[in-house]
Chain A
Amino acid sequence: MNKFKETSFKSVTYLASLFTIVFLFAIILSIFYEGIPIFKHVSLIKFLTSPSWHPTHFPPDFGILSLIAGSFLVTLGALIISIPLGLGSAIYISELAGPTSKEILKPVIELLASIPSVVYGLFGMAFLSPLLIKIFHVPTGLNIFSASIILGIMVVPIISSMSEDALSTVPKSLREASLALGANKWETIIRVVVPAAKSGIFSSIILGFGRAIGETMVVLMVAGGAAQIPKGLFQPVRPMPAAIAAEMGETVIGSPHFHALYGISIILFTVTFISILITEFIVHRRKK
């Protein structure tokens, strides 16, 4: 009887894990199935290197370089903001904070992760964007800079909580050895604890990158949506997820524009897939 319980439990959990694999492959298959036909209308090289995105013009232009540029620029901006904030708060919580402030700070930062992205988007659109126009006298408040700030705030909890986990798994003996050798607390953190946790910190940054580049609602609402190669920090851009979300609803299924949007999702998927592979590789190497 016990044996039966055990095998049935095992098969139920096995089925559950099988389901996620089936879903993953179904999604991958469908985006490639719907995306590859676009390359009958435009070559892969032209698709990736032409900055001209006029999908409903006659004749249409399907070049996504400006969309790729938009995605990478807002993501880079988000990381520039979130790495110091996330890493700094992780070091403070793990190494310096007393038990009370630790107990307050940890859940508050995690709360930041529970705010729906559309709320972040609204905040950016209704509050941050008019503020930027007032402060910097820029023509529009929907641009790389504002999208980077909002995305950066969204990524902070990912970097912070994962880095904090990595820092707190550094063995106590390492810290004690460093202190015993005469290093002060500051030197111990920078020279010993952070280097010991560097693979965990690095994978938190890669995960944050994946989160920022795939985020849709915020870039749709705050990045401005201009399909151009920007010439400055305060220019609007159209990141890949924004283009897919804004245009998919009103294209005819099976049209070249429809396949082009799936083509963009192949590129987006490839980028996030590579970033996950890098994290897995780092974690795997650390275990060895």
Chain B
Amino acid sequence: MSGSDVSVASGPQLADERAAPLFEARDLVKQFRSRRTVVQAVNGVSLKIPRGRTVGLVGESGSGKSTVARLALRLLDPTSGEVSFDGVDLLRASRAEMRALRRRMQIVFQDPLGSLNPRMRVLNAVGEPLSVHGIAKGKDKADRVVELLERVGLSSGDLYKFSHQFSGGQAQRIGIARALATDPDLIVCDEAVSALDVSVQAQVLNLLKELQAELGLSYLFIAHDLNVVRYMADEVCVMYLGEIVERGDGDELFADPRHPYTKMLVSAVPEFAPELADGRGRRSIPRGEPASPSDPPPGCRFHPRCPQAMRRCREEAPAMHRVPTGRAVACHLFDAPAAPADAEREASER
């Protein structure tokens, strides 16, 4: 979908988005070069995150989700594309501007213990953004950190502990407290709960939701677990090999997936597709594994695994199509009204 027109990037909630989204990425491309290979980690991703809402990003590991997270915060510089935050072009922002903007966008990482410096006390870990931006120091900093800790369900007793004294769930709360320290508008959650036990996951997710309601945060919520994304996200983008293949309203997208890849993902989760489980519908069982991003297949990147692949899919990359119910799908099946039937026929002939 590289080079697709910008307007399709706007999914549902058109009214909201026209009122200037908090965050916008256009046609992000990121290539990692090593001596012989070029890895296309992200290939033309566009995103908008409206204020106070959550955009979910799902996909298998290696689909480029985390790279998108780093590009969004400009922890990495994209090969091409644009990123803007609250109307400011991040790629053209000066160092000082960028530093000031970092107060307003934060990240929570996958590995809760790894994201805390083992040689730093909680006070300084959570208070680091305060020190970096000269917001508070000494007693003020300690007070503010205690406030933050209590906000995420920890207490002042934890102020002088080190990260190894905490469980994964607690460490993630500390990570969240650190992200909240500068009163940000946007928090990128990069697989923020993936490393936690299921019971702890739910608690952390609820905490994130409460914080959103209370502070009006926006989230870019990245996960490979469809359940988690559905619970959190207002809008969901499905990524496959560095491209967004389908986007739409969260619940609807999982209830009625359109793209063959989304169907595959959804049908693999029994809770989402009970009507498929009893054998009435056609169940697309996940097959194969994603190709290497250093050597993506030509045409539609999904075609080698797609049960409905047509000749065209092998040759031509599909564009983003807007389909009814506020959905956008990058698939040749939606090229023309007649296409789906053709495709099914061709698929069954094979």
Check if A and B associate. Answer: no
Q: Which residues of A contact B (CB under 8 A)?
A: none
